[in-house]
């Protein structure tokens, strides 16, 4: 098991390195005149040249990469070209915010989707049809539209939640909850729809299998058959979908953080990309890649725990 984990981590490190190198050269190749972009149209050529020197942009790209890589392996990802803030600090202060949204949305979607999927598979009839129709609608509604609707209804009109901004948990647990309920809901709806469909399908598949019939014929209580055996067996594919949804939710956080003005990775990603703040974009790409690698590893380990056959393979 340990060897498996180490092997996966090794692959993950190689992946992060490849992504970092590729991103660095892609960004620099299309970066244009960064100093001019930072200083705007009012600055003179003399000031622009001074800024280029200050940022080290007057050196060959290979030299810049060497210096960046040397610092990066020591945990120093440089400083934002715009704010001057260390990239590690800029991302560090925001990663918890985005993870709160994404983990929250994942937990909510897992919980609600399992309930709905099981209910639809077990009950059938109109309940099944409602869940299926709801899932289609949930997938079809554009996330940004849902977010705007939630803000208008529950924050602006009813005043139940904060329309924008984020409150740290340590500062006010109630305020924190009030600031993430709507963004988490906006993020979770499509994930709930996707995972509920998967749970429903897997449950129906597993219920039809011979070993389930055998369990029933042995006189095991129906609850035990469904919730212990069938659900556990059906959880594998659902978990895979949930893992994919988790990664997609990080992407979804970009628009949710914009609409709710939440200081997370998505907001800083939009700002940094639009401005051409390459050190910050590079840092973001690396952090998100690490998150993806870790999530995939955790999901694989969970799959092994749920299904011994996966562990053996």
Partner 1 sequence: MRSRKRLSALVAVGVAAVMLSACSGGSEGGDGSSSGSLVLGSPLAPTTFAANDVSWANEAPYIQAVYDTLLRATPEGEIEPWLATEWSYDDERTVLTMALRDDVVFTDGTPFSAETAAQSVLGFKGGTSPYAFLLGRVADATAIDATTLQITLSEPDPGLLHGLTTAAGVQGSPAAFDSPEAQTSPVGSGPYLLDTAATVVGSSYVFTRNPDYWAPETQYYDDLTVTVLDNAQAQMSALQGDQVDVVNLLDSSAADQLEASGFVLHPAELDVRSLLLFDRDGQLVPELADVRVRQAIAHAFDRDAILQALADGRGTVTGQMFGESSPAFDPGLDQRYPYDPDRARQLLAEAGLANGFTLPLPQIPTGTTIQYDLIRQYLGDVGVTVELTQVPLQNAIADLTQAKWSAGLISLLQPATDWETAQTFLTEDATWNPFHRPDATVEQLVATIQQGTESEAAEAGRRLNEYVVEQAWFVPWYRVQSVIVSDSDIQVERQNDNIFPYLWNITPAQ
Q: Where do contacts with partner 1 occur on this chain (CB under 8 A)?
A: 30-34, 36-44, 46-47, 50-51, 54, 82-85, 89-90, 93-94, 148, 151-152, 155-156, 159-165, 167, 172, 174-175, 177-179, 181, 258-261, 263, 267-268, 270-271, 274-276
Nearer to partner 1, 155 or 238 (CB): 155
Separation of alpha carbons 290 and 8, rounded Å: 12
Shortest distance in whole angstroms from residue 285 CB to partner 1: 17
10 Å CB burial of residue 169 (0-12, 13-18, 19+) is middle
Shortest distance in whole angstroms from residue 128 CB to partner 1: 25
Those residues whose C-beta lies under 8 Å from the C-beta of residue 58, and which sit 6 or more positions away, are 49, 52
Given phi > 0 = left and psi -120 to 50 = alpha, else beta, which region is 84? left
Shortest distance in whole angstroms from residue 78 CB to partner 1: 13
Separation of alpha carbons 185 and 162, rounded Å: 13
Nearer to partner 1, 242 or 278 (CB): 278
Shortest distance in whole angstroms from residue 282 CB to partner 1: 15
Nearer to partner 1, 8 or 144 (CB): 144
Nearer to partner 1, 97 or 242 (CB): 97
Separation of alpha carbons 65 and 78, rounded Å: 11
Nearer to partner 1, 180 or 242 (CB): 180
Query: For residue 192, what are its two tokens?
Result: 């709930």
Across the chain, how many H-helices and E-strands are there? 14, 0
Shortest distance in whole angstroms from residue 13 CB to partner 1: 29
3-state SS, residue 148: helix
Shortest distance in whole angstroms from residue 291 CB to partner 1: 20
Q: How many residues does the chain have?
A: 313
């Amino acid at each position: 098991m340990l060897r498996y984990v180490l092997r996966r981590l090794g692959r993950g490190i190689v992946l992060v390195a490849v992504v970092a190198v590729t991103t660095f050269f892609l960004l620099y190749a299309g970066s244009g005149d960064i100093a001019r972009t930072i200083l705007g149209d009012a600055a003179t050529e003399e000031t622009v040249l001074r800024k280029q020197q200050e940022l080290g942009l007057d050196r060959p790209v290979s030299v810049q990469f060497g210096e960046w890589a040397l610092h990066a392996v020591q945990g120093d990802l440089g400083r934002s070209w715009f704010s001057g803030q260390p990239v590690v600090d800029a991302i560090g202060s925001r990663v918890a915010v985005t993870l709160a949204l994404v983990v929250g949305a994942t937990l909510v979607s897992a919980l609600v989707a399992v309930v709905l999927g099981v209910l639809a598979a077990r009950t059938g009839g109109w309940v099944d049809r409602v869940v299926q129709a709801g899932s289609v609608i949930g997938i079809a509604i554009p996330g940004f539209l849902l977010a705007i609707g939630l803000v208008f209804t529950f924050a602006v009109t009813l005043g139940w939640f904060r329309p924008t901004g984020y409150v740290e948990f340590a500062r006010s647990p109630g305020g924190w909850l009030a600031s993430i309920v709507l963004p988490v809901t906006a993020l979770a709806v499509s994930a709930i729809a996707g995972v509920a469909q998967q749970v429903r399908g897997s449950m129906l598949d597993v219920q039809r299998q011979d070993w389930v019939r055998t369990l029933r014929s042995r006189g095991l209580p129906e609850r035990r058959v469904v919730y212990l055996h069938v659900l556990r067996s059906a959880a594998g594919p659902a978990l895979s979908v949930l893992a994919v949804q988790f990664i997609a939710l990080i992407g979804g956080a970009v628009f949710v953080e914009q609409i709710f003005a939440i200081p997370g990775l998505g907001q800083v990603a939009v700002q940094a990309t639009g401005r051409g703040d390459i050190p910050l974009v590079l840092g973001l790409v690396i952090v998100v890649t690490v998150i993806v690698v870790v999530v995939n590893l955790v999901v694989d380990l969970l799959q092994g725990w749920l299904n011994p056959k996966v562990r053996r393979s």
